Amino acid sequence: MPDTTNFDDALEIFEEKVRDNIKLLSSKDAKSRMKAAAWLGEAGDPTAITMLKQVYKDDPDPKVRETAKYSLGMFRKLEEELHKSDQSKVQKLLEDVAVRGKIGRRVPVPVRSLVKLEVGLVISAVLVAVFALILPPIFRQTVTQAVQQSNDPAPTTVPVVDKDRPALIADLQAALTLVSNDATTLQTQYQTKLGGGEMNCSAYFDTLAPVTLSPANASSFADLATLANDINTLQTGFADAKSTYDRVCDNGETLEASEFGAPMGKVVALMQSITTAQASLAAAAAA
């Protein structure tokens, strides 16, 4: 049996390192930001995904943006590892981590040493799998939302816990930010196509998961329950608008620029609805 106290201490140290590196993504020093982005990709903690996406989009240093892109790609590969039918090797490493207390002993993966990528991905997969198995359901839900990528826009609902109002508002804001980012990315792709260019089939889209309030929270905070339903509707609308992009990039269909007018209209309507939801959420937060 592993020492529970040691495990808790190691986990606390790991989580603190994750928080510290997320903060370093806002450092004025580009090298510090690049190093933090690389570490977070190797660590495999899903709480870093949103910030890495922001760095990938907005960081002024191209090397930092490339590092963030690399780390986001690691999460995508991690998802593939966790969904493989044969997970015997991963299970073996999982046993090593859980039983022998090797948490945090990740193999460094230099940003430009792509030959080491596979090793880093396996280690990251083990870490996420360990945390998903051992930590409370609330963390397990976060991991599932971050790494699950499915063709079904409505993933399987997992048990939810009661939260206070500020925490619920934070969850709603995070979910709304993700769908807003995805809609903006999709709008850019359709605009490019309508302008005579070609879409980027490697464009990054966040994984969207439905927002679910506990029965008690839904009863106590009716306005937030309504907002949760609105955000879920926005997610469904995004999936519908993105279907044309998927036809081209996933199914290999060849479409004329004129065929992107209707899906572009869906994106524009979606952006307007997102603006309305943002205003409603701001009002709820102020209340």
CA–CA distance, 52 with 119 (Å, rounded to integer): 21
- CA atoms within 13 A of residue 286's CA, in its CB half-sphere: 6
pTM score, two decimals?
Answer: 0.49
pLDDT grade, residue 265 (50/70/90)? very high
Quote the mean pLDDT of the chain.
Answer: 75
The predicted pLDDT at position 182 comes to 92
**pLDDT, tens digit, 9 for 90 and up, residues 213-241:** 999 999 999 999 999 999 999 999 999 99
Calculate what percentage of the chain has a pLDDT beyond 90.
31
Cβ(250)–Cβ(184) below 8 Å: no
Range from 78-82, 104-108, 142-146, 270-274 carrying the lowest mean pLDDT: 104-108
Residue 130 phi/psi, 5-degree rounding, is -60, -50
Domain extent listing, the chain: 4-147, 165-286
Check residue 279 and give its pLDDT: 92
Q: What is the pLDDT of residues 14-67, one digit of tens each?
A: 778 888 889 999 889 999 999 988 888 777 677 788 888 888 888 999 889 988
* 8-18: average pLDDT: 74
- pLDDT for res 208: 86
The mean per-residue pLDDT over the stretch 159-181 comes to 88
| pLDDT at residue 7, rounded to an integer | 55
Give CA separation, 247 vs 4, 95, 250, in Å.
Answer: 49, 41, 6
